[in-house]
Structure 1
């Protein structure tokens, strides 16, 4: 197995579940049908609580259900690249169980091959639909030889059918037993480690004294022919099972952190079951999303899980010894005691993480387009306002210019224009010699004699035009109040002045 983020779901035996095809989506890589129950030598097995998906159709003289609708769902899921496996019950750990003897174990392996996998039988519950593998508990050291015989026999069948599909073998075991059970590892594709109860539960992740994944990884590494063997964490999809439960985000973090630290053998997450996950606020969707987020935001180099899968060929058979105690993930009748695993890798994969990334990219693109459009609209509004302000100012300037021109024309018409001194009328001697105030009606040339200026009524003084003696050159034009002009006239001794009763033209001044 080349992946570290596979997700496996159990299905079956839950009264609230939908049909199998409803759960075959991008959130899972494998679905395991639970559970096949051994009925003894010479008898066909039964399937746990299959009344809902299978109805009341049974093969003659047996309790093995005939499930054509389920067969359709199986092929539908497989067409989407999702592997469909079957799990076996754990039995009672006695001599009469299918693993109680080597001969019985081999016979049961042959029967399962014919009924559910690539063999032939008139009593196939799923018709021509062929499942992709078997998930079984087999960790009792007292029955190691039976478990080994069962696995060897299955492997011989798997190797005989290399054309139609690869097949997978999975064993489940409690986390407390994995290193001490003498568990078979040869010919296995995965081990589902139940971490939902006990001191080594996933609830104790982070406590190195209790969470001992490192010892499991070391143990697997030490086994022969275990290079491709993967370890999965088997957990509940809901707190309703009454065992240790962690939410999808936390679970994804634990999984990806473990994969980063122990990349060689970590395979993914197995949860029970599909119906409970859907009822728990879409546990399966949250888990896949969290897997994708953790994968993309870390530097683990882990590829997000795929929605369309192909499988690698079956490996060559090799054998070792078998194991110890019975395994059951939970005491709940709906909680499976084992789970599947397989190699998931191929050409034309469409990763859910990639889909999420694609959606995120599309969302980012849409946001960028909206922001750009908003900026363009805002720029247009600002430009429009600027043009309006410019035109308004231009209009006001034009109006002000016209008004000034009118005022200048008015001033030119009403106010005297500065002219050379010889052009102004000369006052009569009586006016110049008068000691009384003189009322002037127009600008008048006067000597700079202070006395004469002082004799003028101050209200007549609006401007004084000063020139030098015997010259027409205008030195300055003085404006101001009458009192100021009278005072300033004292500084004009020896100069002639034009005394004006009105302001001289501003343009000329």
Structure 2
């Protein structure tokens, strides 16, 4: 009896350690991580998802956006990209150990979560239509390809119920061992805190945070102070420096300044995750990621 009890206790402790390491994993990163994230799906001229993954300069791709949700209807806006080939492209990227997420939200105004039930319904839709869930009668825009997770890019509307959404999505992982099919990231504005995502981040289940240090003159001037706030607030999440690849966007950092001014500062944080680039089309024009991948 005592031996059996010790074995059960050992199994429970091993499971607890595994779960804690899963949640705290990104915080172990110090110095170079080699992680470069890019948003894809914002311009048809950016090329295919497969082409993006074949550049060798991205380790993480976020498809954007599921831009309509929360009121009984969902819709993708991929800037004219046909959805047909994307499933095979997702699998191709994953075969190269590149994670692929779907981002929800964006700059449009056709989304919100008016109730907790709306959040639960959206989580279920994402699970069965895009992630590892499969249910008869549910259309999967990318076929049988299973995305690795969901990104929250909530830039419009009220902040309500995104915490319910995050918790519901994360709850699907309890039935899996050895992998996390419903991973979560968030892409907040740089001024801390971002009120639209604050409650979702407080759940503790969002393990990647891509902070947008662009599109805001204040952030361009005070990025280091804001970076320190984000990394201090979420020690168990990997925090990524979000930068634009286009010189036309406020917050652009020249590669020389990236190397000498930004990278030495951000890599001091224990939970530095890497660099996030906005977005694939601009990066294709300027090849910004070729510098980022060297120094990330």
Indicate the TM-score class for this superposition, using the shorter chain for normalisation: 0.7 to 0.9
User: What's the CA shift for 1:194?
Assistant: 1.2
In structure 2, distance between residues paired with 1:91 and 1:157: 28
Give 5+ residue unaligned stretches, structure 1: 55-66, 222-226, 292-304, 306-509
CA contact (8 A) 2:173 2:181 kept: yes
From 146, 159, 162, the equivalent of 1:143 is: 159
- Counting only pairs closer than 5 Å after superposition, residues 113-128 of structure 1 correspond to structure 2 as 113-121=127-135, 122-128=138-144
Q: What is the deviation of 1:174?
A: 1.4
1:86 aligns with 2:94: no
Q: Which runs of 5+ in 2 are unaligned?
A: 1-25
| 2:65 is equivalent to residue 48 of structure 1 | no
Q: Does 1:13 align with 2:42?
A: yes
Q: 1:136 to 1:19 in 2, by over 3 A?
A: same
Q: Equivalent residue for 1:110?
A: 124
Structure 2 CA distance for partners of 1:86 and 1:253, relative to 1, 3 Å? farther
Instruction: Find the aligned partners of 1:39 and 1:139 in 2 and give their Cα distance.
Output: 14
The question of whether the paired residues in 1 share the 8 Å contact of 2:39 and 2:64 is answered with yes
The 8 Å contact of residues 113 and 119 in structure 2, kept in 1 or not, is answered as yes
For the structure 1 residues 37 and 179, does the alpha-carbon distance in structure 2 shift closer, same or farther, using more than 3 Å as the test?
Answer: closer
Matched, 1:176 2:191: yes
Q: Post-superposition shift, 1:84?
A: 0.7
Structure ID, larger Rg: 1
1:234 corresponding residue in structure 2: 242
2:281 corresponds to 1:275: yes
**In structure 1, the residue corresponding to 2:188 is in which secondary structure?**
strand
* CA spacing shift, 1:75–1:92, aligned 2, 3 Å: closer
Cα 1:252/1:49, change in 2 over 3 Å: same
| Shift, 1:195, TM fit | 0.8
Q: Which residue of the partner structure matches residue 213 of structure 1?
A: 227
Deviation at 1:239, TM superposition (A): 1.6
Partner of 2:268: 261
How many angstroms apart in 2 are the aligned matches of 1:203 and 1:14? 29
Flag the 1:79–1:199 CA change in 2: closer, same or farther, 3 A.
same
Larger RCO: 1 or 2 (CA < 8 Å, sep 6+): 2
**Could you give the per-residue CA deviations for residues 320-373 of structure 1, whole angstroms, max 9, x where no partner exists?**
xxxxxxxxxxxxxxxxxxxxxxxxxxxxxxxxxxxxxxxxxxxxxxxxxxxxxx
Superposed CA offset, 1:467-505 (max 9, x none): xxxxxxxxxxxxxxxxxxxxxxxxxxxxxxxxxxxxxxx
Alignment of 1:23 onto 2:38:
no
